[in-house]
Structure 1
Amino acid sequence: MNSVLLQTEVPLMPDQLVDLLGLDALGVAGDFVGALIGAVVIASIMLANAALAGPWAKRKITAAFTDRIAVNRVGPFGLFIIIADSVRLLSKELIIPEGADRPAYDIGPLLVVLSALGGFAVIPMGSLGPLNFQLADPEIGLVYVFAVASIASLGLVMCGYASDNKYSMLGGLRAVAQNLAYEIPLIVTAMSVVIFAGTLQLSEIVAAQQETLVTVAGFAIPTWFAFVNPFAFVLFLVANLAEVGRNPFDTPEAPTEIVAGYQTEYSSVYFVLIYLGEFVHIFLGGAIVAVVFLGGPDGPVLPGLFWMLIKMWAVFLFTQWARSAIPRVRIDQLIEIGWKGLLVLSFANLILTAVIVGVLAL
């Protein structure tokens, strides 16, 4: 388990790009160009993964769970369906509802995508060769990623309100109610990890999981917080399902009840933005799970970037299993699970973790 180095040992990606491209002489402008190139690289990686997950992997995985044949006609293994769907959706007419609140209608889909991509600015994605795929490493990295990711809720409300559609409005209100009910348990559960790690800095949280917890039959099990506190790990996974809007918590866009919720009145490129933002958010949730509980890019043999992507895809697979296997709950049941179930359990976990860490520190 040596694919992760402490942040103090490896410069951040923008600094590496500045040195690699010889931009030092440009001063602040050179730093800006290095940061911009790094942001484009990280965004391209995540958008490519989301594009693969949405039109192709989602269909293949769902078909496997339900014993059906998925896309297999367009290209090898049906992979060219990604291009076909992109052309099909982008070529559709963009229809704007007559009573739409145009500024909010236009901005909402952008917020959904940008909030997800913004979260990756502080995620330690690991290394590939000499490059360290992390743009920034602030001391409050965990707070930042939750704050930026929550902006998507504002985008969903704007989409629902601005569409001048009652079903869309209901979907937007459901999104707010759901995010309020599940973001608090999500953050409180993450705080139990902060108590263990003693920091909010994501690179240090990853570094705190590098020691060996126990050795079984010659195999070293690392101190990943999923092993140290499996109860918190399960709580976090459940709350993350609600945060990314996957079954049984997909009530904001429930097609059997409210057509498609907040995205009912969106077509063409705007629908693509919402759809893309949904999958980027799933991968952002997977990245947070990987960093907080699964050692981040830590893993044997393979470069850290590969391990990080593998763990994010594992979380994506879990969300797709939940989508295929678990029926949707009613909106009142959803709120009760959040406020009366997960919230209570997350605070109980936080208090118990604080007591254990306090006793061990004596």
Structure 2
Amino acid sequence: MSITDTLGSTLGLGSLGPLEDFLLSLVGAAFVGTFVLLNTAVAGPWAKRKITAAFTDRIAVNRVGPFGLLIIIADAVRMLSKELIIPDGADRPAFDLAPLLLVASALLGFAVVPMGNGIQLADPEVGLAFLFAVASIASVALVMAGYASNNKYSMLGGLRAVAQNVAYEIPLVITAMSVVLFTGTLQTSQIVGAQAETLITIAGVSIPSWYAFVNPFAFVLFIVANMAEVGRNPFDVPEAPTEIVAGYQTEYSSVYFVLMYLGEFIHIFLGGAILATVFLGGPAGPVLPGFVWFTIKIWAFFLFTQWARSALPRVRIDQLIEIGWKGLLELSFVNLLLTAIIVGVIV
């Protein structure tokens, strides 16, 4: 059931006409967008600092509001009130569009993610392919930002970003295809539904057939490739402040910097949403509503990225490319071949 059907039944509407369907779609899109942006607003200015401080034995933000939560508003006012500086020689159309494209590509992905019972904007038959397609648009945005800034450090950051994304996006998709072999569909709701069955019962406890349990090897491969896709340690080479200042976002300020920063964190949550959908049963979970479980799962991935940021050292660019092309790519093909053999024998 899509979110428009859920809203229609909640409001007691019968069959929906084109106008009603359009208006309810707008309301549903507003709800999903608000949910994603609220999570990002908490994660970026506040949670990231508090988590990093906990790992490094510091206090972090605690002065503005209870637990420092009002730093979210303070940072928003501070950043948006700064002067928007455009570097000399910048390619204005590309420079202006890159932050918008980065945010839009991440938000679009949530349109086909099942977030709970009846909370899904769209459910096309090629939903998983759509997810990876729109997420990959971020590479274009990063290259645009690096090239258009007329800055050698930004250009290097943009080139590193696209090299990294190409190197790790192929293993990411191939690993996800091993799940498609099990389910026989690209439809995200069907992938989630296939994980609702019980895999095994131990001492009266039923373990669901989440593909993280069915194929833990693919789960680990997907997490590693996903970390590289969202640019978290040890794969944050495109931003590497000790080498290239801040990479592709070096020249961005004010609202443009806010959008770049926002896009980065939305992509982390989108990565968590894809991981939850493909390997962790989507919004499935005991006792609590599905929407709550979905939120817990994407935040668990965010916490994992922050742990990696504090615990793991950054790899060099040559090591990063070697890990992608000579490590994950081969392992992802091995996983796909073994999965095909297993599915062929069982089915």
Which has the larger displacement, 144-153 or 31-40? 31-40
Q: Hey, what does 2:218 align to over in structure 1? A: 232
Residues 1:55 and 2:45 are matched in the alignment: yes
Hey, what's the Cα distance between the residues in 1 that align with 2:179 and 2:15? 42
Q: Does 1:189 align with 2:175?
A: yes
Correspondences of 1:145-160 after superposition (within 5 Å): 145-160=131-146
2:171 touches 2:329 (CA, 8 Å); kept in 1? yes
**Preserved CA contact (<8 Å) 1:116 1:281:** yes
Residue 6 of structure 2 contacts residue 119 of structure 2 at CA under 8 Å; is this kept in 1?
Answer: no
> In the alignment, which residue of structure 2 is the partner of 1:176?
162
CA distance in 2, matches of 1:25, 1:232: 43
Mapping of residues 178-217 of structure 1, within 5 Å: 178-217=164-203
Please state if 1:296 is matched with 2:286: no
Secondary structure class of the residue paired with 1:150? helix
Alpha-carbon distance in structure 2 between the residues aligned to 1:303 and 1:143:
27
2:238 is equivalent to residue 248 of structure 1: no
Letter in structure 2 aligned against 1:223: S
Q: Does 1:337 align with 2:327?
A: no
Superposition map of 1:1-362 within 5 A: 11-21=1-11, 27-127=17-117, 132-361=118-347
- AA aligned opposite 1:243: E
Runs of 4+ in 1 over 2 A off after TM superposition: 15-27
Report the residue type matching 2:65 in the other structure. G
2:38 partner letter? A
TM-fit CA distance, 1:141 = 0.5
Letter in 1 for 2:318: D
Aligned partner of residue 207 in structure 2, secondary structure: strand
- Deviation for aligned residue 1:211: 1.1
Q: 1:224-260 CA deviation, whole Å, 9 max, x = no partner? A: 0000000000000000000000000001111000000
1-structure distance, mates of 2:98, 2:4: 30
How large is the Cα RMSD of the aligned pairs? 1.2
| Contact 2:8/2:16, CA 8 A, preserved across alignment | no
Change (3 A) 1:26 1:226: closer
Say if 1:26 and 1:231 are closer, same or farther in 2 by CA, change over 3 A.
closer
Q: Offset at 1:17?
A: 2.6
8 Å contact 1:23–1:31 — kept in the other structure?
no
Return closer, same or farther for 1:21/1:210 CA change in 2, 3 Å cut-off: closer
Q: Distance in 1 between matches of 2:15 and 2:129?
A: 34
Offset at residue 137 of structure 1 (A): 0.4
Q: What letter matches 2:94 in structure 1?
A: A
Separation (CA, whole Å) in 1 of partners of 2:72 and 2:13: 37
Q: What SS does the corresponding residue of 1:120 show, helix, strand or coil?
A: helix
Per the TM alignment, residue 25 of structure 1 is displaced from its structure 2 partner at its CA by 8.6
Note the C-alpha offset of 1:133. 1.2
1 CA distance for matches of 2:33 and 2:270? 12
Q: CA deviation at 1:16?
A: 2.9
Structure 2 SS opposite 1:213: strand
Any stretches of 5+ residues in structure 2 without a counterpart? none
Q: 1:106 Cα deviation (Å)?
A: 0.5
In structure 1, runs of 5+ residues without a counterpart are 1-10
Distance 1:90 1:358 in 2: 56
Other structure's SS at 2:252 match: coil
- State the shift of 1:198 in Å: 1.2
The whole-number CA distance in structure 1 between the counterparts of 2:40 and 2:119 is 18
- Residues 309-337 of structure 1: CA distance to partner in whole angstroms, max 9, x if unpaired? 00000000111111111000000000000
Q: Say which SS state the counterpart of residue 112 (structure 2) adopts.
A: coil
After superposition, give the CA deviation of every residue in 1:295-315 in whole Å (9 maximum; x if it has no partner): 000001111000000000000
Question: Contact conserved, 1:213 with 1:223, CA < 8 A, in 2?
Answer: yes
In 2: Cα distance, 1:216 partner to 1:190 partner: 28
Alignment deviations for residues 92-115 of structure 1 (CA, whole Å, 9 cap, x no partner): 000001111001000000011000
Q: Which amino acid aligns with 1:77?
A: F
Scaled by the length of structure 1, the TM-score of the pair is: 0.94
Give the partner amino acid of 2:2.
Answer: L
Distance 1:26 1:123, change over 3 A: closer
TM-score (norm 2): 0.98
